[in-house]
């Protein structure tokens, strides 16, 4: 009996005052732990020192759970630890994840394109780079700008196909 099992609330927090609490998502667990830490912060502001409990706040993910074996001839069972099936993000498909990554990199590429354009403008100023260093910079900036423009175009093509 070594099958992956599922768990509705695989994330947890533990703190001295509230003990062990289970959550469906990591974001919920972190929010709860941060709220608990906020109470400790208020105590520290009031008392002038942090409570010891602040250092004992924990956030984690359950990796194994006990599962009962089939009853034996006498009706008794045994428990063994079984690994959890990795949690699938709730409400997020693989396409959503890819779309978010493409949007992120498209924005980063646009920022990089703007920075490269500013470098070119700096170079074009009379007080800019001159001679062989200026030519090498021009070539490097042009090569990078072409790569960035290609990445932006590819990201825009993919994003245009998103329903």
Listing DSSP states for the chain in one string gives: ----B--S--EEEEETTTEEEEESSHHHHHHHHHHHHHHHHHHHHHHSS--GGGGG-EEEE--EEEEEPPP-TTS---EEEEEBPPPPPTT--HHHHHHHHHHHHHHHHHHHHHHHHHHHHHHHSTTS--HHHHHHHHHHHHHHHHHHHHHHHHHHHHHHT--
* Tens-digit pLDDT profile for residues 119-156: 666 555 554 445 555 666 677 777 777 877 777 777 77
For residue 15, the model assigns a pLDDT of 92
- 72-111 tens-digit pLDDT: 788 788 888 888 876 555 555 666 666 666 666 666 666 6
Please say if the pLDDT value at position 20 is more than 90: yes
């Amino acid at each position: 009996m070594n099958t992956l099992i599922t768990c509705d609330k695989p994330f947890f927090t533990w703190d001295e005052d509230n003990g062990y609490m289970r959550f469906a998502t990591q974001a919920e667990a972190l929010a709860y732990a941060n709220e608990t830490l906020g109470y400790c912060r208020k105590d520290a502001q009031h008392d002038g020192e942090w409570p010891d409990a602040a250092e004992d706040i924990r956030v984690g993910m359950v990796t194994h759970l006990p599962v009962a074996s089939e009853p034996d001839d006498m009706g008794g069972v045994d428990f063994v630890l079984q690994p959890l099936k990795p949690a699938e993000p709730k409400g997020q498909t693989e396409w959503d994840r890819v779309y978010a990554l493409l949007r992120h990199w498209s924005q980063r590429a646009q920022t990089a394109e703007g920075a490269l354009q500013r470098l070119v403008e700096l170079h074009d100023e009379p007080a800019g780079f001159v001679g062989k260093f200026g030519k090498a910079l021009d070539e490097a900036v042009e090569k990078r700008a072409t790569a960035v423009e290609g990445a932006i175009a590819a990201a825009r093509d993919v994003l245009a196909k998103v329903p």
